[in-house]
Amino acid sequence: MNGSCGELIYGTRHDPELASQDSPRGVVLMAHGFKGYKDYGMFPWLATQFAHVGYIVQRFNFAHSGMLGGDSLFERPDLFEQATWNNQVEDLKILAESFQQTDIPLILFGHSRGGAATLLATGRGDVEASGVISLSAPSQCNSLTPDEQQRLLDEGRIESPSGRTGQMLYVGKNFLEEQLNSPEMHDLQQLIAGSTLPCILIHGEVDQTVGIDAAKQLEAALKDSTLAIIAGGDHVYNTPNPFSIDDEPSPQLRNVWNAILSWLP
């Protein structure tokens, strides 16, 4: 499937477990976070849970994630450096349109930066969905300090090392320039303000990567939101990477799924 800038979006589909006479309950598009990918940590396990209860699931790598079909090195760090919010929204739009030819509900699922991207896509009106499941999402598009922003503009890129692979990755200046050129299209809280799209916001109680206040700010902006705070949960809900779908989930990940299950239509 072609994504933004003509690059390939690599994906894995899970078909629902259904009786022969039943129809799928819906489609779930699973968007990973910054430096994440479709096979990261909890994603395969959660996708399997959705399939168990009747949903089609599409896990995918954003076209500018830098990851291709594997789960080891960032094979395209050049693409990672070009990543912006606009091309993530475009990827979601392309994927959503491929499923919107059906009559079944479409749910966007996103973790961390992926959660913000799903809210941004629906807030802009670029993607029509029946609901959003947002995990550990920031409440703003730009978390760079003023000094980091100036250095990014002056030098063209700033370092962003991968703790997982040991590679030195870079954030390119187009990530910031895009936001400076159209701030109104990147004001996440304003874009979702008053939205009646059903949304569940899930956040770990002890998330050290994205503070819990971000979830509360998003909840305040949305009109139809459910906030689920996961006790003892960190940014990835205490789930190692890699994590097999056959392994026992952490209590925090199990509580994430229970919250989602109780919210699903």
Q: What pLDDT, in 10s, does the model give residues 52-97? A: 999 999 999 999 999 998 899 999 999 999 999 999 999 999 999 9
CA distance 25 to 54: 5
Q: How far apart are CA 134 and CA 123, in angstroms?
A: 13
Tens-place pLDDT, residues 137-173: 999 999 999 999 999 999 999 999 999 999 999 999 9
pLDDT attached to residue 48: 97
How many domains, in total, are found in the chain? 1
The residue-averaged pLDDT of 123-136 equals 97
pLDDT for 101:
66
Domain hosting residue 257, numbered range: 4-263
In angstroms, the CA 120 to CA 4 distance is 16
Output the pLDDT for position 184: 98
Which of helix, strand or coil describes residue 2?
strand
Query: Which amino acid, 242?
Result: P
What is the Cα Rg of the chain in Å? 17
Name the burial class of residue 251, with classes exposed (0-12), middle (13-18) and buried (19+) by CB atoms within 10 angstroms of its CB. middle
Q: Which tokens go with 237?
A: 């809900």
- Judged against a pLDDT cut of 80, whether residue 4 lies above it is answered with no
Q: What percent of the chain has pLDDT over 70?
A: 96
> Is residue 8 predicted with pLDDT exceeding 80?
no
Task: Please identify which residue in the block is written with the tokens 């919010």.
Answer: 85
In this prediction, residues 98-111 reach a mean pLDDT of 88
pLDDT, one tens digit per residue, over 209-246 is 999 999 999 999 999 999 999 999 999 999 999 999 99
Cβ(9)–Cβ(1) below 8 Å: yes
Three-state DSSP string of 213-257:
HHHHHHHHHCCCEEEEEECCCCCCCCCCCCCCCCCCCCHHHHHHH
Whether residue 248 has pLDDT greater than 90: yes
Mean confidence (pLDDT) of the chain: 94
Burial of 155 per CB tally in 10 Å (0-12, 13-18, 19+): exposed
- pLDDT surpasses 90 at 251: yes
State residue 172's pLDDT score. 98
- Average pLDDT of 181-205? 97
Task: Give the CATH number, domain containing residue 17.
Answer: 3.40.50.1820
Confidence at 9, pLDDT banded by 50, 70, 90: low
| 1 pLDDT higher than 50 | no
- The pLDDT score that the predictor gives to residue 194 is 84
Q: Is residue 257 very low, low, confident or very high in pLDDT (cuts 50, 70, 90)? A: very high
Least confident of 11-20, 157-166, 192-201: 11-20
What local confidence, expressed as pLDDT, does residue 5 receive? Answer: 34
**Is 7 in contact with 64 (CB distance < 8 Å)?**
yes
